[in-house]
Amino acid sequence: MKERKIWLSLVTPFDEARNVDWEAAIEYVRLLDRYDFAGFLVGGSVGEGLLLSDDEVRRYIDVVRKVSNKPIMLGVIDFNFQRAATRLALDADFNLVTPCIYFKPPKEATKEYFRQISNTSKSKVYLYNNAGRVGVNLDRSIYRFAYDELENVIGVKECDDAKFAEYSSEFTRWDFMTGNDPFMISKDFVNAGGSGCISTLANIAPKLSLDLAADPFDDTKAASWESLCSHAYSIPNPIAVKQMFAKWGVMKPYFRAQMHPLPEFEYPIDKI
């Protein structure tokens, strides 16, 4: 069975004034660094990355570097290449890149955007396909272009479960990871040779996520994971994760607009 890895999508702690709580960030990363994650994702959607300034993202990367020796993947999610290029220049080991958001560009424009990204990024690039958030669904023609022409692109975070088996078997040189926590324990994912998961819920169930990466067909653990996913994803990310950490005293349950806290999140899971 292929060895699978879990990358952890970091949330961003805020204080009452909605400034980044750097002391909480240090303790939070230190707490999770003791687990055998492949690395940390900074500035993704779960980390409210679109709501962070470039300076805040740079400082968060510095925090992770000081606390951990694990690799850093940086979310690059933006409206145009000029804005994205600022984050491509930051100190990340990998860049996780969506198509341009909001504008719903045509295929040729998306290909050119990825070419600019690949030519500019000093780090290796993963494409991120999440049509529900971005408005663009990366299809075979875009993958084929990137696979054949962009040497700096080495993998995909694929959130379209229906595409996973077909595309991972076609683009075999790439590292194919899912962005959907429930899918990582499915037979379709395992049989397709999925490389692992860039996970949100590994934040609040780190050992369970790693155990399932090693053995996704442990029925008891899989049932617990499915139940956790169902409950936590009933509200928008990262609300459930941050409110659980607030219950544990790791960070405060604050979000930047447009995120809003909901009533207290209750779920009987083992503490970290």
| Domains of the chain with bracketed CATH | 5-247 (3.20.20.70)
pLDDT tens sequence across 178-213 = 999 999 999 999 999 999 999 999 999 999 999 999
pLDDT(226) > 60: yes
Q: State the average pLDDT over residues 236-249.
A: 92
List alpha helices for the chain, DSSP H. 22-33, 54-67, 81-88, 107-120, 131-134, 140-149, 161-170, 187-191, 206-214, 219-232, 239-247
pTM of the model: 0.93
Number of H helices, E strands in the chain: 11, 8
- Give the pLDDT mean for 262-270: 47
260: confidence class by pLDDT, cuts 50, 70, 90: low
Q: Tens of pLDDT along 88-100? A: 999 999 999 999 8
> What does the pLDDT look like over 134-169, one tens digit per residue?
888 999 999 999 999 999 999 999 999 998 989 999
- Please report the pLDDT score of residue 79 as a whole number: 87
Q: What is the pLDDT of residues 56-78, one digit of tens each?
A: 999 999 999 999 999 999 999 98
- Only one residue has tokens 């669904």, namely 137
Q: Using the predicted structure, report yes or no on whether residue 265 has a pLDDT greater than 60.
A: no
pLDDT score at 262: 55
Give helix 54-67 / helix 81-88 axis angle, nearest 10°.
Answer: 20
How far is C-alpha 92 from the geometric centre of its chain's CA atoms?
Answer: 14
* CA dist., res. 82 & res. 61, Å (int): 21
Q: Which residues pair with 40 in a beta bridge?
A: 8, 72
